[in-house]
Chain A
Amino acid sequence: MRVLVFSHGHPTFSKGGGEYAAYYLYKGIDETPGHEAWFAARGEEKLLHLGTPIASLNKKEYLISGNADIPHLTTWLPLDDESDYAHMLRTIRPDVIHFHHYVHLGLELIRAAKRICPNARIVLTLHEYIAICMNSGQMVKTDGRLCHQASPRECSQCFPDRTPETFFLRERYIKSFFSIVDEFVSPSEFLRDRYIAWGIPAERISVIENGLPPTTRLAPRPIEKGKIRGRFAYFGQINPFKGVDVVLEAFAQLPDLVKSQISLDIFGSGLKNQSIEYQAKFAALLDENKGYIHYHGAYEPHEMGRIMADVDWVLMGSVWWENSPLVIQEAYSHGRPVICPDIGGMAEKVKNGVTGLHYRARDHISLASTVEKAISEEGLYDRLLAGIPKASTIENCVQAHLRLYESVELANVHS
């Protein structure tokens, strides 16, 4: 099978979970005997050539121009039969065209792909909630509250300068392209349910967990008898959505006796992109708690094993729903339980009391008591370790996708 995977970014230039997932899928398929895959990722203008919107990095990987923003998701890339886009598709002759995203790329690529390759199956992976929510696809209201269901009227409350009709048109436009997608893939049940509620027929969305490169499960961190499992780590972007401030505030609240026995290590980049106020708050919390909280900055994926070896718990602070956070799969693959908010994709992937612990989302007091429970409850850690599932590997993910591709019948055009 010949598979072309589109991604909103190339992990060489844009290191996000979605970009890696798309790239691993392409690589995995391409390495599977009997199959061949190509990768086309949206690239910034400066990475491209003059006079063509497409630049190949090698025979299998392309960069393609695009600037489809979240409000409009539209591209002005030429898409006629003589276009560079059509040329690329005709060269690859894919049996499956898998849009691992459409943001930055533009929804129109989907319809043009269908026209240029009428016999190709169109598969689309849903990541966050960009089709549903204009607020960065987070389904968090612009005043910070969690959003449970979008509607043109409610969305216009989040964006007072836009009318409800703007959101209706946006939804209608997106759906006019989704109607020609043969099959959707969601990495979580939670996200799938949100898109079903939004209008995608349930039978057209399959759940396939993202895969990770094979990892050796680590033994628990060796500790002396009588010592507690008090090493916590946070991995991820430093931004308000990821809620690292919730985590810091929770630890600052812990009793001094607890503080003296534990540590929190923060790994992640992005602090510099945040507002001055956010940076100041972050710095102040670090400073007040410098004895046991350490900020390490960015890390590379290959360092994960070494870092995880010294960690007992992986912590999440996200204040939005999440989909299927990579960090949960990484924690599982290294054999570490996760403490996370009790909402969305996180609550789905982490079973409370089985593979990790939940706390009340956005509530640092709840997190503080969960941390106290984690270090004090007899037998809890061993029980959770036993409950941690095998993480999905790239191999699992690739096989699931290939099975899906084979099962997909070309959908009739839906209205």
Chain B
Amino acid sequence: MRFMNLNLKKKVKKFSMPNLVDVQTAPVSIGSDTATPPQRLKVDKAVRRGTKIIIDGWTNADVDFSLIIGVSELRVHREASSRADVAKHLHMPSGDGLGFTLTVESTINEPLTLVWTDLSGIRGLSMPLTCALEPSANEDFAPAEMLGNVFDDTAVGALAIDHSIALGANGILIYGWHHFRKGKLASLQLHAADGTILDITDSLFPLARDDVMRAMQARFDDISEFCGFIAHINSPTNKLDNPKLEIRLVDGTREHLRIPVSKEDISGIPLIKDLLSRVPAAHRIQARLFDLFDQHLGPVIEKISQARPAFDGAIIERQFGTAPENPKISVIVPLYGRYDFVRYQLAHFADDIEFKNIDLIYVIDDPKIITETNELATIYQPVFNLPFRTLSYDCNLGFAGANNVGVSRARGETIVLLNSDVLPREHGWVTKLKNALDHLPEAGMVGPLLQFADDSVQHAGMVAKRDTRLPGFILNIHPGKGQPWNGPDTPHECQMLTAACIMLEKAHYLAAGGLDEGYVIGDFEDSDLCLALRKQGKRLWLVPQAKLWHLERQSQNLGSISSYRQLLTLFNGWRFYRKIQDGKIADPAQFTKVKA
């Protein structure tokens, strides 16, 4: 590419200053008005694609093209094409050669003027072309993706709206990035669909956008990684609305951008998943995640979660073996994904005489495995010769919901909540727990020692802990996890217990409202139940005489937050903390000093 750096003003002075012509709205006449057919020019499309400028159009005049960008005039590469439609319009026999595509490489972000020069050297100039931004095919250059939602002026700054989600009465979530040079931006105003205008300048929560920074730092040397933003604005918005963002600059200029509202029709957990998945590089804002939930995402997710229709579907119950006559204890095991654990559990319950009179309930909380689970139950029930039931329904309620369904059908007055990957080390464990529940002071809930396959501690009581890596949140930790169990085996009081295996009275469970299904998909609902019982003055006891294995599945590592699932856990953590703050459940710090 050769540049011709011309001083336009000087050059143009030699001729009379041509009128600037709008070539984009309609075909315009150029050259002699008397020529037949009349000489016309039209630009159909002008786009910037990465560093490339592409101009499509047509003309029947014999002219050369060039482009003026800022103060430079650039030669263009021209490719001719046939335009039968134009030929017809102009009553010409053939459209060959009428169409053109002009391309030029330029990184200069200044207005474009199309220049045409006829055989006699007479030049015509267009008005500055309206130039769209198009995503570049071979660059993962996120900002350019936003057709028409971008403000970009090297002298002032840039702002792009990547995505937005209309939440009806719950407002709107806007995702994007921005960077303004110092002293240029006055304010950002949201023009809602109903005409109200809200100043949202201070409502943007900074997010990490390393991609934007890398793409823009050649032009904005002071741009930071945290140029991304998310904003929850309490302005009722529907999917069909067309809200706008107005950029008010200090010099009085006003730019309007379209806020592209997602038309995707999702709600409930898919919507929560969607909005969390769009938070980029959460690990880069780890220290501010609590604020992200507290100020923007928490209340929104809570509302979406609450709007989920309550489960009222049919529960299909199947009895395997002969049901015990008058069981005192119900053991409730939710199943999700894996159902083969049923076989292992039955093998371990089989010779435990207590299970002859226990109401064992498998709650199939996964429509995909209903057939397989019942088939497995049919095959193995005669082998292990234990009575049990399966409950199934056509949805996934999550850990809390599945247990609540199980408890609602439980026949025993005492219930055991048990994970499917928990296996007893020895017989008689249910009675050990029951004796403890009946006799320990104010016992509201008891739980056994849980051990990994290598006999190290998986759970010997749960403690709330503030984590300096995630300031604001209270997380649950298992003290001594992974280390040898050194006793003593005498019962001791615990701040909280894991619901992988707990025993409590059904009446107490129901009085506490069961497991709180507001924890989306599941985390913290067991600590929530513990603190709900605590609030009623009950005490929680670890009973290490009862020992079970817990093959805890790959659990989430919050050390590196990289997926929506981890963000969802943090939402639940935020919610847990809010419930404590609001006094809905007891403050664990009351019972043991919360470890710093």
Q: Which residues of A contact B (CB under 8 A)?
A: 74, 76, 78-81, 83, 108, 111-112, 115, 151-153, 164-165, 168-169, 172-173, 176-177, 179-180, 413, 415
Contacts and interface: CB of A to CB of B under 8 A. Distances in A.
Given A172-B347, A173-B347, A415-B351, A79 B453 contact: no
17 contacts: A78-B379, A79-B383, A80-B382, A81-B382, A111-B350, A111-B383, A115-B385, A165-B551, A168-B551, A169-B344, A169-B551, A172-B347, A172-B549, A173-B347, A177-B347, A413-B351, A415-B425
Contacts of A115: 382, 385
Contact of B427 (A112, A169, A180, A415): A415
Sorted nearest first, the 8 A-B pairs with minimum C-beta distance are: A80-B382, A168-B453, A176-B347, A413-B351, A108-B383, A165-B551, A415-B426, A79-B382
B344 to A, nearest CB: 5
A152 B343 CA distance: 19
B344 A179 contact: no
Interface in B425-440: 425-427
A198 B127 CA distance: 88
Interface string B455-473: 0000000000000000000
Contacts of A79: 382-383
A85 to B, nearest CB: 10
Contacts of B351: 176, 179-180, 413, 415
Given A111-B350, A153-B454, 16 more contacts: A79-B382, A81-B382, A111-B383, A115-B385, A152-B454, A165-B551, A168-B453, A168-B551, A172-B344, A173-B344, A176-B347, A176-B348, A176-B350, A179-B351, A415-B426, A415-B427
B384 interface: yes
Contacts of B385: 111, 115
Contact of A172 (B348, B350, B382, B427): B348
A100 B270 CA distance: 54
A83 B382 contact: yes
B343 A74 contact: yes
A172 B383 contact: no
Nearest to B346: A176
B150 interface: no
Contacts of B348: 172, 176
A151 B453 CA distance: 10
A413 B344 CA distance: 17
Contacts of A80: 382
B546 to A, nearest CB: 13
B423 interface: yes
Q: Which of the listed residues B382, B423, B425, B426 has the most CB atoms from chain A within 10 Å of its own CB? A: B382
Given A111-B384, A173-B343, A176-B348, A76 B379 contact: yes
Contacts of A413: 351
B220 interface: no
Nearest to A168: B453
Interface string B55-82: 0000000000000000000000000000
Contacts of A108: 380, 383
A322 B427 CA distance: 36
Given A83-B382, A164-B453, A172 B343 contact: no
A415 B429 CA distance: 12
Given A173-B347, A176-B347, A177-B347, A152 B453 contact: yes
A151 B421 CA distance: 19
A168 B351 CA distance: 19
Contacts of A180: 351
A179 B350 CA distance: 11
Contacts of B551: 165, 168-169
Contacts of A76: 379
A78 B382 CA distance: 8
A172 B340 CA distance: 14
Contacts of B383: 79, 108, 111-112
A69 to B, nearest CB: 14
A355 B551 CA distance: 49
Nearest to B381: A80
Contacts of A415: 351, 425-427
A43 B423 CA distance: 34
Nearest to B341: A169
Contacts of A169: 344, 551
Interface string B382-416: 11110000000000000000000000000000000
Contacts of A152: 453-454
Interface string B311-349: 000000000000000000000000000000001100110
Contacts of A151: 454
A83 B382 CA distance: 10
Nearest to A85: B382
B448 to A, nearest CB: 15
Nearest to B553: A165
A265 to B, nearest CB: 49
A173 B454 CA distance: 16
A81 B423 CA distance: 27
A153 B384 CA distance: 29
A112 B453 contact: no
Interface in B548-566: 549, 551
